[in-house]
Structure 1
Amino acid sequence: MTTDFPAFQCVALIGKYQSAEVAESLRTLAQWLRASGREVLIERASAEVMHAEGYEASDFEVLGQRADLAVVVGGDGSLISAGRQLAPHDVPLVGINQGRLGFLTDVARSNMLAAMEALIQGRFRPERRALMRADVLRAGHPVFSALALNDVVISKGDLGRMIEFEVRVDEEFVYSQRSDGLIVSTPTGSTAYSLSANGPIVHPSLGGLLIVPLCPHALSSRPIVLGDSAVLKVRLFSRHDARAHFDGQDHVNMQGDDVLCIERSPHSVTLLHPPGYSYFAMLREKLRWSEAPKEV
């Protein structure tokens, strides 16, 4: 499947901050894109690292309004951050990894110009990834809201002891739990923190939410996969404090009786994959499946 990417005439460049290698890659990409006749915008903080004159520096709101495409140079965290901010504007993203290929950034730095050529030729394949919307409610009123591409995590706070909470799905009581916390993940996030807590790998073409307990005080507690339209509510018991994390990039402290409400966002993130991309090949490479045993 191909898309008419040559119609993307305005390209935003976004890079991981405080990295000389990223700055060099951004300059190279900016020069190449301008030579191909594209308008180039640089995310404001990335422009400070890039030290390149003659390019317009813009914040994410302006990038979302004007850019047809965003190219993110860095790692998965950089792409997740950009995706969360650009999703309301439906700007597709390409990820260029500075080191080993990531779960989301699947273009190698050494191959980025050839990849850009393939992109211009319309040979990249789009893939939609679901986002979650999360709200922290206090006495029924929202005190914090965020989008998450990977996961929302409620965890024990500074006291370092287990927390207790109840879980409801579509207002139906599911269980009360005493544990270190709970991971609520998208299929994209099923290969992130959720995986380390023995959650299932869910193909990103599927919708739904994953509920994965963190060190539950009951051997019978197991991960649950919810439907795409489910609304999840986690109410913290009154004598407990906790902290909610959103993609590991934002967090908010929760008080007793606060409710964390999570559902699928109407927005999504569009990733553009290079020719030959395979989700299962990525899993084999990242998770070392079928790897020959090492000699001792």
Structure 2
Amino acid sequence: MPRETFRNIGLVARSGSEQALYSLRQLVHFLQQRGCNVIIEKSLDDELGDLGLQAGSRKQLGESCDLVVVVGGDGCLLGAARTFAGHDVPVLGINRGRLGFLTDVLPSELEHRVGQVLDGDYRLESRFLLDMELNRGKRVVGHGAALNDVVLLSGDSVHMIEFELLINGVFVYHQRSDGLIISTPTGSTAYALSGGGPIMHPAIDAIALVPLNPHTLTSRPLVVDGNSEIKLRVTSFRQEPLVSCDGQDGLRVQHDDIIAIRKKPQRLQLLHPPGHDFYEACRSKLGWSSRLGDG
């Protein structure tokens, strides 16, 4: 069965990056040579205005494009994921950041790898996101979405916070700590990894809950089914804590607020060039040994 053909290509990039701009211009030239219609995000119009390209909002790109290419780091792709997951448009990442777990096409391989994708030679992964809802009494006072993680933090205070955790309506524990990371498999190699959480293969349908400096030696990361509904109720703190999605500006949490977290109905369609291997990415990005006996 023939693979999908990509003709209308949307471009998103990290603003203000000379490296990203260089790769963008290279990419535009290559795509036009391949006969593709290129549409750039409006924020790039000032930097690429001399090319005379059509520009649109991310919403417009999601509605009109067959493929969106993100040029930047994983953080840039995280922001794009929250928009394009709702439009079911596949996303491909060109790495102009640091680690590059999500943006896995190297700039030196840009034309070769993108050419393979345009020829229908690629891997398609479906990654789930989390929906976060902040409830105050009977009112919803905030919400957000995360491809990596939702994090409850003690905020500006060095003091611990206290909260209760419920999963599918069942009380799990009352905890004193600096907070809690609620991570998808995609986010398991990000902040959750720094907090001592498990690395989860992207195909796993699970959510990891990783305590931040808990005030007990027996509190350990917990992995639950990906369809679980997770609720946190903040019961005690010195200053108002924060809840943040993918490291964005956080929302202030008040006493007895309920933070509800569940899987988002829409998923991110993430493209990889042929030969992509999650374990090879772990070896190269995390410094794992490449063969037995390596130090």
**Alignment-derived partner of residue 229 in structure 1:** 227
Q: Does the 8 A contact of 1:3 with 1:125 survive in 2?
A: no
Q: Does the 8 A contact of 1:101 with 1:108 survive in 2?
A: no
Number of residue-to-residue matches in the alignment: 291
CA distance in 1 between counterparts of 2:237 and 2:199 reads 34
CA distance in 1 between counterparts of 2:170 and 2:99 reads 41
Q: Which runs of 5+ in 2 are unaligned?
A: none
2:203 paired with 1:205: yes
Given candidates 146, 152, 158, the residue that maps to 1:160 is 158
CA distance in 1 between counterparts of 2:2 and 2:178 reads 45
- The CA deviation at 1:25 is 1.3
1:249-290 alpha-carbon deviations (Å, 9 max, x no partner): 242111111111000111111111111110000001111111
1:93-113 alpha-carbon deviations (Å, 9 max, x no partner): 111012555111110011101
- What pairs up with 1:1-296 in 2 under 5 angstroms? 4-5=3-4, 7-98=5-96, 102-237=100-235, 239=237, 241-290=240-289, 292-293=294-295
Percent identity of paired positions between Structure 1 and Structure 2: 43
CA separation of 1:163 and 1:11: change in aligned 2, threshold 3 A:
same
- The CA deviation at 1:184 is 0.1
- The CA deviation at 1:121 is 1.1
CA distance in 2 between counterparts of 1:28 and 1:108 reads 13
**Deviating 4+ runs (over 6 angstroms):** none
Q: Secondary structure at the match of 1:87?
A: helix
- The CA deviation at 1:213 is 0.3
Q: Secondary structure at the match of 2:50?
A: coil
Q: Does the 8 A contact of 1:101 with 1:107 survive in 2?
A: no
Give the structure-2-normalised TM-score.
0.95
1:24-69 alpha-carbon deviations (Å, 9 max, x no partner): 2112211221221211110111233334331011111111111110
CA distance in 2 between counterparts of 1:205 and 1:31 reads 35
Instruction: Tell which deviates more after alignment, 239-248 or 215-224.
Output: 239-248
CA distance in 2 between counterparts of 1:282 and 1:261 reads 32
Q: Does the 8 A contact of 1:3 with 1:123 survive in 2?
A: no
Q: Secondary structure at the match of 2:151?
A: strand
* One-letter amino acid of the counterpart of residue 195, structure 1: L
Q: Secondary structure at the match of 1:79?
A: helix
- The CA deviation at 1:158 is 1.4
Give the structure-1-normalised TM-score.
0.94
CA RMSD after TM alignment: 1.5
* One-letter amino acid of the counterpart of residue 189, structure 2: T
Q: Does the 8 A contact of 2:10 with 2:68 survive in 1?
A: yes
CA separation of 1:101 and 1:178: change in aligned 2, threshold 3 A:
closer
CA distance in 2 between counterparts of 1:144 and 1:3 reads 43
CA distance in 1 between counterparts of 2:99 and 2:236 reads 44
CA distance in 1 between counterparts of 2:2 and 2:283 reads 27
Q: Does the 8 A contact of 1:212 with 1:223 survive in 2?
A: yes
Q: Does the 8 A contact of 1:3 with 1:124 survive in 2?
A: no
Q: Which runs of 5+ in 1 are unaligned?
A: none
